[in-house]
């Protein structure tokens, strides 16, 4: 099935008039490195621009202050090491704030998997929702955790590496996406000109968006958008459908206004303006 705006509009969860801070999404973004400081920040801003109340960034100490200076909207928690060691993993797990949804992976590089496996497994024990993106899309990690409450956001090249198979036609991508999601018991997004989204039982296609979205940072923003949706109560599948569709529509609008020359900051503004039409307090 190809998703459209009517389908997405019917899925939207409206805001309760009596809700208070944190009830509409408290997102934790875990990632970053000395080289890629912007990736986790863009993911956090994507969550906030999608309506989340709070965004916490868990990043290496070396980039914590620059991120604080760039965005006062974000709560930054410095980590003592750029690698996700067992110690770093446990430090995140001992963080006392209520966070029900985590994005793991934007901006992380060359990681040892023990710490990440420990982190994801114990977050799952706490019933957290988890979006694995970028540097966390790793077979060793995925093969050593359960599929519970997991969304993977992979571009076609990353997915091909996961299954160790070259795929380049839509029928093959649909079949491989559904098979992988079913086998791993996860929700899988394979990003591209067409996005393929499956939970193993149902598979959807999203055709919103355009070639301007090759811009660095757009994938990080998508992970934040999806996190914002699953945090307010959507299933992992519906959150993925909403996230991919509105990401593409925001990309179309941003391109129309800014052309190929847009930056992620302009994209975030257009994303918020596009989503405003769905706002309703009940």
Is the pLDDT reported for residue 265 higher than 80? yes
Element (H, E) at 123: helix 113-125
What value does the mean pLDDT take over residues 4-11?
A: 96
**Two tokens at 123?**
């977050």
Q: How confident is the model at residue 232 (pLDDT cuts 50, 70, 90)?
A: very high
Q: Give the pLDDT confidence score for residue 8 in this predicted structure.
A: 96
Please give the residue range of the domain that contains residue 216: 5-278
Query: Which residues, 6 or more positions from 26, have their beta carbon under 8 angstroms from its beta carbon?
Result: 52, 53, 54, 55, 56, 97, 98, 99, 100, 101, 231
What value does the mean pLDDT take over residues 267-279?
A: 96
Whole-number Å distance between alpha carbons of 245 and 265: 19
Tokens 């999806």 belong to residue: 226
- Which strands form 195-198's sheet, in the order they lie side by side? 75-79, 54-60, 26-30, 101-104, 129-133, 150-155, 187-191, 195-198, 203-206
Is the pLDDT reported for residue 67 higher than 90? yes
Q: Give the pLDDT confidence score for residue 241 in this predicted structure.
A: 98
Whole-number Å distance between alpha carbons of 220 and 42: 6
Helix axes of 113-125 and 86-93: crossing angle, nearest 10 degrees: 20
Q: Give the pLDDT confidence score for residue 81 in this predicted structure.
A: 87
- Angle subtended at Cα 166 by Cα 163 and Cα 167, rounded to the nearest 5 degrees: 95
Q: Give the pLDDT confidence score for residue 112 in this predicted structure.
A: 78
Q: What is the mean pLDDT of the chain?
A: 95
Whole-number Å distance between alpha carbons of 153 and 229: 14
**In CATH, what number is assigned to the domain containing residue 87?**
3.40.1190.20
**Two tokens at 276?**
């405003």
Tokens 């459908």 belong to residue: 241
How many domains does one find in the chain?
1
**DSSP letter string over 99-161?**
--EEEE-TT--S--HHHHHHHHHHHHHTT-EEEEEGGG--HHHHTTS--TTEEEEEEHHHHHH
> What share of the chain in percent tops pLDDT 70?
100
Is the pLDDT reported for residue 74 higher than 80? yes
Q: How confident is the model at residue 261 (pLDDT cuts 50, 70, 90)?
A: very high
Q: How confident is the model at residue 97 (pLDDT cuts 50, 70, 90)?
A: confident
């Amino acid at each position: 099935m190809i998703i459209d705006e009517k389908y997405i509009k019917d899925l939207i969860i409206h805001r309760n008039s009596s809700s208070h801070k944190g009830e509409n999404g408290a997102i934790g973004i875990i990632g970053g490195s000395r080289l890629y400081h912007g990736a986790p920040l863009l993911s956090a801003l994507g969550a906030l621009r999608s309506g989340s109340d709070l965004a916490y960034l868990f990043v290496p100490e070396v980039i914590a202050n620059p991120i604080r200076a760039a965005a006062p909207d974000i709560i930054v928690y410095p980590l003592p090491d750029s690698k996700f060691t067992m110690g770093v993993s446990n430090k995140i797990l001992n963080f006392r704030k209520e966070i029900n949804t985590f994005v793991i992976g934007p901006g992380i590089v060359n990681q040892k998997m023990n710490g990440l496996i420990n982190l994801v497994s114990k977050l799952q024990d706490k019933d957290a929702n988890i979006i694995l993106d970028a540097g966390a899309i790793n077979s060793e990690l995925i093969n050593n955790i359960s599929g519970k409450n997991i969304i993977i956001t992979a571009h076609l090249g990353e997915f091909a590496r996961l299954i160790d198979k070259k795929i380049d036609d839509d029928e093959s991508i649909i079949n491989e996406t559904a098979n992988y999601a079913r086998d791993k018991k996860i929700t899988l997004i394979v990003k591209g000109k067409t996005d393929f989204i499956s939970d193993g039982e149902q598979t959807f296609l999203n055709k919103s968006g355009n070639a301007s979205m090759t811009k660095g940072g757009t994938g990080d923003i998508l992970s934040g958008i999806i996190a914002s949706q699953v945090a307010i109560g959507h299933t992992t599948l519906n959150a993925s459908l909403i996230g991919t569709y509105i990401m593409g529509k925001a990309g179309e609008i941003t391109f129309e206004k800014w052309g190929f020359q847009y930056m992620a900051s302009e994209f975030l503004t257009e994303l918020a303006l596009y989503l405003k039409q769905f706002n309703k307090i009940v």
